[in-house]
Structure 1
């Protein structure tokens, strides 16, 4: 029997066939996994590119591209002849790049910067956090640093990632504290400032006017930011400038102030507490405005500490513009009482009244200032000698309503319209309604008596008093005081009070008599100027009296009104305030002599 065996190749072929099938399965599995992974990656890539591409590009660019903002130069403030009252100077400031380091890495850098600049770490960190650690903008942490600090930072700059020293313009007031209350000062925005200007595109570290013209004309003076967009390397170094936007300097602002006359007024007032105002009575242009005590606005070109700020605030309120605050006007107000008496028709220009040591009203004796009276007097004589008992009778004769009406027509009890309106008091013209509300009493005849000589509840600012003298000077026109030389609307704005020619004549003769033979003769003895004026001494119960003197010149065609005010100065208006007015008037009409005298004062040795 023959056995038939299968060839070996058949068995080998069967084993090979099974191996081949499994290998294909493994390859297919590997291909599948790969496809899934690639598909996932592709999908994610597509998502990142298509769905989040813009956002991711911004994040990448923010790490590579940064903005170097450049602050514009602030516009200059000029006097009426173009002399600089406020300008700019170059200074060094210190900035931080928030993106230069991670949040956790800043501590060591801040500690070193704090040591060099002598600024608390907490203050620097607060400013960095306000801007944000992911901000591409620089953060200013110090302004106007000393050359020594610039050198110290330069020597350590390799260890101070994200710290940069750069030159920029800072505000400069070449005359120090001269006209400080008119000009104001600038400072970096506070949190409150940000809230007040939400739509004005301010940034952290911006400089803004804080008072005076700097604040009132902020939008003109501030200018427009510019800067560079730059590419930086991993170390934060600029490798390429990608683009630049030019800054636009702020507009210059020209004031009506005369620098030389301002200097003369500042010298006249000296260190005494009070104010001096000089205006053109024909159009209301303010030629000089002084308030004391004052401050040096240059102090705010660098950041001051809270202790420095508190120290400045504690010394007799130097930031208060006393030319715009209310005080009882005293006998200067007899200009209004004269006008009310004559314009009411209840008293004729020829009226003569007996004056005496005092008159009794409602059981109270109201005395004359000389405790004797001046005998029979008309309006001119009563103004010349400032007889209180004469004007008591005029006030009672016209009545409280007429006197109050004329007081308001002269501009008292309301703001003048000056550009510094946020800092100006309206003053107070009291009446029966006000007294019942505030004092819980009705208006008495004695209130009218007090008001007739500028006492009682009446409150007027030195600027308002200057406006009153302007009405007497220019023949009966109420002008609008203004500081902007190019403010044509204010320059030409005048309201005619339609005074009778006889009223204007009596005011001129009576006020001229004050200086020539009356209460202020001694103060103006020897002057070659034709001056008309009036003094005032206001009681301030429990403290020294306030003193006033106002004047205009020349009498026939007045060009200037000057009012001087002494806060709790004591003495009398004729002895304390009148010499200051004379000094300013002579500086205006004889500038060469005034400048020579000013130079002598500056050159004089000091103890």
Structure 2
């Protein structure tokens, strides 16, 4: 029997399926290669510059090195300003992506106790792609250094480096002369960038630190170093050592400066001591003061509040202008004698008051002194005598001689940015400033250093130097001129008889007049003048200016107290006596020259 069999099964297809597999694999490969190519194109074309820089900078870094700032010494070689070793914290912007920095900044903020925004601002100013390090903290404590080292593996792009920090070994001594340093501000950087300054630079802010910045600064150096993956230096590829700034020697005598500040104590005011022969400033004290060390690192809120509690501690009162009061009678005497309207032998009556235009201008003792010569009027500081001189010569002549004595203009001292030129009023000045004409009463007020007349303690010291040195105007200066390259004096062409009247009158002030506080055997003979300036409705200012030895002067001292009340003879004169005692006693054991 025939049994039908099933037809043979169809063999499976292989050719078509193989082709499909090939196409799938090709498509996947194409996608992978396309993605990889796109990524490579992105990395090379879009991020190529940064990645090349990052790859190179991961191996080679530029490490800038700031120069050590020049030191500042007094005339006898005593250190006034130096630099101490310190640690600073730097960020290396390119080490991390911008999105990676916030975590590191949070950790740094916690360790440094500084707001994140403050650190981030410094980083953003330099730019996240910058290869240069950015200083974000100076003067790190040992505790901060330890904490940062412990967190080093978590703080990529964060580096600690040794630098020097400005140090003022005597605290607030001569703070207004020396000034202080601080990091450059945005506005300062904008004007100084073309002179090679960079963000994070330290520069002088006030005083000599600012005035002699170019000498003290020095030149930046740096290193090109190769580092490993941990940031450790493998080798130095190239180096340019920083060039330190020049040292500076000042005219200051630090012992005399210390005495001047002790004498002022908590009294608001200023003391200037100067050599009348060449203008060297031996001491320049101002109160209240501040300690410049607090600005060498980040100033705390507590320190700032303490400064704010003082009354303008950054103001150098030796360079600010006030009514010079009766010390100005030196210029009134010169104006009267040099005008030809009065002779050295002139004698004038004095009165309780002088009435001009219906206004009574009173003498300070409310009684007058009877007939007086120029010397006698200086001795007793008779106001009505000098009213008559001022009324006769007029305001224009007083103004002319004021300018010849250096008033109403900058003195030429290095601290010009902080100096007031003062005010020498005349008819043109009054019309411009007050829209009024000049009256005889204005000349009368000016004749005794009141009214609109304004002078600084330094300018008053220059005024006293003229009779002290025999008729020369000196230019005060703070930088010691060891080679005597400059001529610091110029004659203002006074008659010898005028100088003699001034010297005799100023000597009599101390011998028999209002300067009795200087009548002592502890110092050589002194010549000088008191002054008490009204400052309504506040208390009066007091002045005393003098020089010694009277017959061969080598030092001028001016003391000024602001709104202290009292009189120049009772408050300012004893201060000058203390300075002169310190000066002449110190000469017995002269300090070695630098």
Q: Same fold (TM over 0.5)?
A: yes
For the 8 Å contact 1:68–1:228, the answer to whether it is kept is yes
For the 8 Å contact 2:96–2:157, the answer to whether it is kept is yes
For the 8 Å contact 2:259–2:579, the answer to whether it is kept is yes
Write the distance in 2 (CA, Å) between the matches of 1:144 and 1:524: 51
For the 8 Å contact 2:180–2:206, the answer to whether it is kept is yes
Matches within 5 A, 1:88-237: 88-237=83-232
Task: Return the match for 1:77 from 72, 75, 98.
Answer: 72
User: Corresponding residue for 2:343?
Assistant: 348
1:453-489 alpha-carbon deviations (Å, 9 max, x no partner): 0000001000000000000111110011111112867
Write the distance in 2 (CA, Å) between the matches of 1:527 and 1:366: 39
Q: Does 1:301 align with 2:279?
A: no
- How far apart are 1:398 and its partner, in Å? 1.4
User: Corresponding residue for 2:20?
Assistant: none
User: Corresponding residue for 2:369?
Assistant: 374
User: Corresponding residue for 2:7?
Assistant: none
For the 8 Å contact 1:221–1:252, the answer to whether it is kept is yes
- How far apart are 1:592 and its partner, in Å? 7.4
For the 8 Å contact 1:185–1:212, the answer to whether it is kept is yes
- How far apart are 1:274 and its partner, in Å? 0.4
Structure 1 residues 594 and 441: alpha-carbon distance in aligned structure 2, compared to 1, 3 A threshold: farther
- How far apart are 1:80 and its partner, in Å? 1.0
Write the distance in 2 (CA, Å) between the matches of 1:174 and 1:437: 48
Uncovered stretches (5+) of structure 1, i.e. residues with no partner: 1-29, 596-607
Write the distance in 1 (CA, Å) between the matches of 2:348 and 2:396: 22
User: Corresponding residue for 2:525?
Assistant: 530
1:502-549 alpha-carbon deviations (Å, 9 max, x no partner): 111111111111111101114534434210000100000110001000
User: Corresponding residue for 2:466?
Assistant: 471
Uncovered stretches (5+) of structure 2, i.e. residues with no partner: 1-25
Q: Does 1:564 align with 2:545?
A: no
User: Corresponding residue for 2:381?
Assistant: 386
RMSD of the alignment, in Å?
Answer: 2.7
Worse overlay, 149-158 or 222-231: 149-158
Write the distance in 2 (CA, Å) between the matches of 1:524 and 1:542: 33
User: Corresponding residue for 1:9?
Assistant: none
Q: Does 1:459 align with 2:446?
A: no
Write the distance in 1 (CA, Å) between the matches of 2:51 and 2:87: 36
Q: Tell me the SS of whatever aligns to 2:234.
A: strand
User: Corresponding residue for 1:3?
Assistant: none
Task: Return the match for 1:62 from 57, 60, 77.
Answer: 57
1:350-401 alpha-carbon deviations (Å, 9 max, x no partner): 1111111111011100011111111110011100000000000111121222
Structure 1 residues 528 and 187: alpha-carbon distance in aligned structure 2, compared to 1, 3 A threshold: closer
Q: Tell me the SS of whatever aligns to 1:197.
A: helix
- How far apart are 1:343 and its partner, in Å? 0.9
Structure 1 residues 80 and 491: alpha-carbon distance in aligned structure 2, compared to 1, 3 A threshold: farther
User: Corresponding residue for 2:15?
Assistant: none
User: Corresponding residue for 2:395?
Assistant: 400
Q: What is the TM-score normalised by the length of structure 2?
A: 0.89
Write the distance in 2 (CA, Å) between the matches of 1:566 and 1:62: 61
For the 8 Å contact 1:114–1:120, the answer to whether it is kept is yes
Task: Return the match for 2:577 from 573, 579, 582.
Answer: 582
User: Corresponding residue for 1:86?
Assistant: 81
Q: Tell me the SS of whatever aligns to 1:195.
A: helix
Q: Does 1:258 align with 2:253?
A: yes
Write the distance in 2 (CA, Å) between the matches of 1:208 and 1:446: 49
User: Corresponding residue for 1:421?
Assistant: 416
1:423-448 alpha-carbon deviations (Å, 9 max, x no partner): 10110001111111221211000000
Q: Tell me the SS of whatever aligns to 2:193.
A: coil
Q: Tell me the SS of whatever aligns to 2:583.
A: helix
- How far apart are 1:83 and its partner, in Å? 1.3
